[in-house]
Structure 1
Amino acid sequence: MSNHPEQSDAASTAPVIHAVHENPAWFGPFAAAFEARGLPHREWLLTDGGTLDLDEEPPPGVFWSRFSASSHTRGHHFSKERTRAVLAWADAGGRRVVNGRSALEAEVSKVVQLSALRRRGIDVPRTRVVVGTAHLLDAARTFQATIGGADFLTKHNQGGKGLGVARYSSADELAAVLTDGGLEEPVDGVVLLQEYAAPADGSITRVELVGGELVYAVRADTVHGGFQLCPADACALDPETGRPLLPPGASLPPEPGTSLFSLREDFGSAPWEVDLVGRYRTVLADLGIEIAGIEFLQAEDGRVLTYDVNTNTNYNAEVEAVAPRSGPGAIADHLGALLHESR
C-alpha cells in the first residue's frame, strides 16, 4: 500500500475499496472488518505533499474518505488540500465516492454543520462566528450580553478532539487569556463563540449512522471526558508519552479502568428520538454524508441541542463489544455492497 497511490497505482484494474485517510492509528478496526468479510481494500495515506496526474483515470472501485478535521494537529498540514484533489479527481472520473467533497467541507466547518442542522429545524446552541481573533473580545462582550450573561465557550471552526474548546464565565477572563497569548489560534482563522449548555445528566449522546441506518447510540461521560470525546482508544493517550490524557473541560480526571463511553441501549424508540434521527438523515443527505457520528446533549433547561457532525467517525472498543451491531462492520457492509454494484 503506497503513500503515493496517485503516482504509482493508478493503473490498477481490480476494483477495491480505496480508504483515503491520514491517521493509521485509527484505521485498525476498519481493516479488520474488511478482512473478515474478504473485501479487497487499500489505504491511501495522504499525510504530506504529493502529485496527482489529472490525465490518468482513477483506479476502479469505491473511494471512501476518512479525512479528519484534526489532521493538522498531527503535522499533516497538506492533507486537506490533497484529499480535496483526490476526491474531486475520483468523482470526475465516474468513481463512487463515499463521504466526498461536500462531506469534507462539512467536516472542516462547524459553521456548515450548524447551518445545515438549523435548516432542518434541529435545535443547536446559540453561536456567533468570529473571523480573525482580533475581533474576538469585542464579539464575546456583545455575545455574552445576548445570552443573558451566561457562560460561553470558544471553539475552533475546524475542530476535532476538542480543539480550541474552552469555557469562560466572563469576557474579562477571555481578555486575560488573549493578553497572555494563551489562545490557541484556529487553523482557518475562524472561532465560534457558543453558549455553554450543561448536560442535565453529565453526558452527551453520539448517534452513529451508516448509509442512512441507525447503528447505535453511545453515551459519553462529560464529567470525566470534558470536551474531548473522541471514542477511538488512541484518543485517550498522549501520542508522545503514551499516558492517559486529562481532557480539557473535565470536572474530574478519568478513572483508571473505567470507560468514558457506554451503549445507550434505550435510544431510538421514543417518539422524539425517532423524529431526531429522521431529521439527522435529512441533514446528512443534504450534505452528501453517508457515514457519520452526530452528537447532541439534553440541557438542564430541557432543550435537546445538536452541536457536532463527525464524518470520520470512530468507534469505541468497549461499546463495540456489547453493541448489537458493529460500527466498522456496518461500514464494511455498506462499502462492500457499493463495491459489488461498481463491478
Structure 2
Amino acid sequence: MADLVVFYEHPQWFEPLFRALDRRGLAWAALEIQSHSFDPADTTLPAPVILNRLAMSSFLRQEEHALFYSMAALDHWQSLGARVINGPGVLAYDTNKARQLSLFRKAGLATPATRVAHRRADVPRLAAEIGYPVMVKVNVGGSGTGMIRYDTPEELEAAVADRLTPVGVDGVALIQDYVPARDARVIRCEMLDRKLLYALALDGAGSTFDLCPADVCMVDKPTITISEFKPPAEIVRAVEKVAWMSGLDVGGIEYMVDDRDGTPRFYDLNAMSNFVAKPLEVLGWDPHDNLVDYLLPLIAAQQKAAA
C-alpha cells in the first residue's frame, strides 16, 4: 500500500506536485476522482495519508462532477483513521461561499456587503438593499465562473425576467456589493499547515474574475501580473486564524483593499491551491518542496500509529 494517495481531478495541474513527490522518493499513488467509487462498508484505506486536491471548478469540466461525492469519500476514509489533508470539514466551506463569508465575520474580518438567496425572484429586491453596481455570484464557484456584474436595476430585472442570472449547482446565489479593488489588485495568501506560506499580488485582476495563478490558467489572461507580496502583520494573523477555524491545511485565502475606505475585505477561501506559475521566478523557491516537507512527518506519524 502507498504511504500517500493524491486524490485529484484536474489532468494537468498537479504534474509539478507529482514530480516533487517522485524527486523526494515518496511511496505515493494517484487516485483520480472522476472515475472513483467506494463501498461505505469497506474498511480498507487507499493510504494512511490522503492529500485532497479537489478543485471547485471541476463542475465546469464534467457534467457529472464529484464535488459532493468527494466529501463523502473523504469523510469515509477519515472515519477509518486516515489523515486527510483538506478533509470534509474545510470542504464544507470550500463548497459554500455563503459559509465562507460567515466564517470571515466570525473571525472579525470585513467582507463585501452580501445577501444570500435561493430564489431568483428575490435577487432584485436584495440588490436594491445593497445598491448598484452589484455582483450576482453562484455559491459554489470555480475559476471565476457564475459571476456577473449588474450596473442598474433595469439591467438586473431584465436578466431575472429572462432567467439569465447565475444559478449554481446548489441553487444558492450571492448578491454582493461590487468592491472597487485599490490599484485593481487582489491579494492571495497561500497557507500551509494553517500558517502563511507566501502571498501574491495579482495586479490587473479587475480584468477577469478568474484569478487562478497556475501556468495552465494564465494562457488567456495576459493582463494580470503576479508578484510576491508581504502582507502586514495583522493580515497574517487574520488569515492564520481563518485557516485554523476552517481546518484549511493547504490552500488560499483572498482579499482586496476597498478603494472607497481602505478596508481589507475578505471574500474567498479555496482549499485547492496548485501554487503559483513559475515559482522560481516569482518567489525564488518552489512551494512544492515545502508541501513535501509538510507531508513527510504526517506519513511518519501514521506509520508509527499503525506499528
Report the 3-state secondary structure (helix = DSSP H, G, I; strand = E; otherwise coil) of the residue aligned with 1:177.
Answer: helix
Kindly tell me: are residues 72 and 223 of structure 1, through their superposed partners in 2, closer, same or farther at Cα, counting changes over 3 Å?
Answer: closer
Instruction: Determine whether 1:291 maps to 2:250.
Output: yes
What is the Cα deviation at residue 180 of structure 1?
Answer: 3.7
Instruction: Determine whether 1:306 maps to 2:260.
Output: no
Report the 3-state secondary structure (helix = DSSP H, G, I; strand = E; otherwise coil) of the residue aligned with 1:135.
Answer: helix
Instruction: Determine whether 1:332 maps to 2:285.
Output: no
CA contact (8 A) 1:140 1:193 kept: yes
**Which structure 2 residue ranges, 5 or more long, are not aligned?**
none
Distance 1:56 1:191 in 2: 38
Residues 179-194 of structure 1: matches in 2 within 5 Å?
A: 179-194=161-176
What's the CA shift string for 1:202-260, capped at 9, x where partnerless?
Answer: 111111110133221111123564211011122234xxxxxx36xxxxxxxx35xxx53
Q: Which residue of 2 aligns with 1:213?
A: 195
Instruction: Determine whether 1:137 maps to 2:136.
Output: no
Instruction: Determine whether 1:38 maps to 2:3.
Output: no
CA contact (8 A) 2:133 2:178 kept: yes
Distance 2:156 2:37 in 1: 40
Residues 165-314 of structure 1: matches in 2 within 5 Å?
A: 165-223=147-205, 225-237=207-219, 244=220, 254-255=222-223, 260-264=225-229, 267-268=230-231, 273-300=232-259, 301-314=261-274
CA contact (8 A) 1:218 1:319 kept: no
Instruction: Determine whether 1:29 maps to 2:19.
Output: no
Kindly tell me: are residues 308 and 223 of structure 1, through their superposed partners in 2, closer, same or farther at Cα, counting changes over 3 Å?
Answer: closer
Q: Which residue of 1 aligns with 2:46?
A: 59
Kindly tell me: are residues 320 and 108 of structure 1, through their superposed partners in 2, closer, same or farther at Cα, counting changes over 3 Å?
Answer: farther
Q: Which residue of 2 aligns with 1:250?
A: none
What is the Cα deviation at residue 50 of structure 1?
Answer: 2.7
Distance 1:53 1:111 in 2: 30
Report the 3-state secondary structure (helix = DSSP H, G, I; strand = E; otherwise coil) of the residue aligned with 1:306.
Answer: strand
Instruction: Determine whether 1:71 maps to 2:58.
Output: yes
Residues 138-153 of structure 1: matches in 2 within 5 Å?
A: 138-144=125-131, 150-153=132-135
What is the Cα deviation at residue 49 of structure 1?
Answer: 6.0
Instruction: Determine whether 1:321 maps to 2:303.
Output: no
Moved more, 42-51 or 68-77: 42-51
Distance 2:125 2:189 in 1: 36
Please report the RMSD computed on the Cα atoms of aligned residues, expressed in angstroms: 2.0
Residues 84-123 of structure 1: matches in 2 within 5 Å?
A: 84-123=71-110
What is the Cα deviation at residue 108 of structure 1?
Answer: 0.5
Distance 2:228 2:19 in 1: 21
CA contact (8 A) 1:133 1:190 kept: no
What's the CA shift string for 1:285-308, capped at 9, x where partnerless?
Answer: 111111121111112121111111
What is the Cα deviation at residue 142 of structure 1?
Answer: 2.9
Q: Percent identity?
A: 29
CA contact (8 A) 1:20 1:83 kept: no
CA contact (8 A) 1:49 1:82 kept: no
Instruction: Name the TM-score, length of structure 2 as normaliser.
Output: 0.91
What is the Cα deviation at residue 137 of structure 1?
Answer: 2.2
What is the Cα deviation at residue 177 of structure 1?
Answer: 2.2
Q: What is the identity, as a one-letter code, of the residue corresponding to 2:227? A: S
Distance 1:21 1:132 in 2: 33
Distance 2:247 2:253 in 1: 14
Instruction: Name the TM-score, length of structure 1 as normaliser.
Output: 0.82
Distance 1:168 1:296 in 2: 21
Q: What is the identity, as a one-letter code, of the residue corresponding to 1:125? A: P
Distance 1:39 1:225 in 2: 40
What is the Cα deviation at residue 128 of structure 1?
Answer: 0.6
Q: What is the identity, as a one-letter code, of the residue corresponding to 1:277? A: V
CA contact (8 A) 2:146 2:168 kept: yes
Q: What is the identity, as a one-letter code, of the residue corresponding to 1:309? A: L
Kindly tell me: are residues 275 and 131 of structure 1, through their superposed partners in 2, closer, same or farther at Cα, counting changes over 3 Å?
Answer: same
Q: Provide the aligned length of Structure 1 versus Structure 2.
A: 302
**Which structure 1 residue ranges, 5 or more long, are not aligned?**
1-11, 145-149, 238-243, 246-253
Report the 3-state secondary structure (helix = DSSP H, G, I; strand = E; otherwise coil) of the residue aligned with 2:278.
Answer: helix
